[in-house]
Amino acid sequence: MKFKLTGNAEIDQQHAVLDALIDRLELVCERLADEPKPSCQACNAGRRRNCNGSLSRLNDEILSFLVGHVTYEERLMELLPDIVRCQVHIRGHKEAHAEISDRLREVAAHLGREAPWLLGMQLHRIAKDWMGSHASLYDVELAQQIEGIGPAEIEFDSELVAILDELVFHNRPTRTTPLVRSNARRAELQRRLATLTAKQREVCRLAVSGMANKEIAKQLGITINTIKTHRAEIFRKMDVSSLLDLIRAMDIAEPDEL
């Protein structure tokens, strides 16, 4: 479910970043691009550990980001008047915040016991559904209720911000940090990478390693013209115009592979 824009610039920015993080849950297993239900038994133990580790880190990153998002929204709630309607909204909003964190932790507790691609898909579905319903039921109403009451965006005390960033949650989303921007860029490139066919991925890997078309054709046992066709399609799908741009894109999408 796609989240609904609230009209509050900061909340909508946080939703966009959170949505990009959630989309990365579908990319934990690269074999999903070719197999709807891949068997983890086909991968060696090291690769399975890497998948589990990647999923665990991504889930922690989402939970960390949620801490900042919750902090921001609950500060906004302090602007609401002390009337029954607003207090009912606040209680429901806070309960929804607690619910998503609990559900993500509950599913993540099965790491190592169930296929990481399956857990990633479950986490993705839970988070996506929550994002859509949460925005519609609570965040849009919150933005409407605070309109004209107080500042549209909360300015955190700079000293408090520094302490929180250093000691509590590094991904607090009250501003777009370099880490957040890089995560969004990585998620975009990983989505593009997932659209490559298995053969295109192989050609891409060899091209990025420095092999010429002739060498790639010889190694894969196909013609140079076929390699050129694959490269043109890779450039289109990855939205790059040169080999250097492709290398940079792959370094962001799969930094541990290069």
Per the CB < 8 A criterion, the answer to whether 80 and 145 are in contact is: yes
Q: Measured in whole angstroms, how far is the alpha carbon of residue 27 from the centre of its chain?
A: 9
- Residue 227 makes CB contacts below 8 A (sequence gap 6+) with 203, 213, 216, 217, 220
Per the CB < 8 A criterion, the answer to whether 47 and 190 are in contact is: no
| Domains annotated on the chain, with CATH | 9-188 (1.20.120), 195-253 (1.10.10.10)
- Res. 157: pLDDT tops 50: no
pLDDT digits (tens, 9 = 90+) for 202-249: 999 998 888 888 999 999 999 989 999 999 999 999 988 888 788 888
Mean pLDDT, residues 151-168 taken together: 52
pLDDT digits (tens, 9 = 90+) for 92-139: 999 999 999 999 999 888 888 888 888 888 898 999 999 888 888 888
- Give the rounded percent of residues in the chain with a pLDDT score beyond 70: 80
Mean pLDDT, residues 138-166 taken together: 64
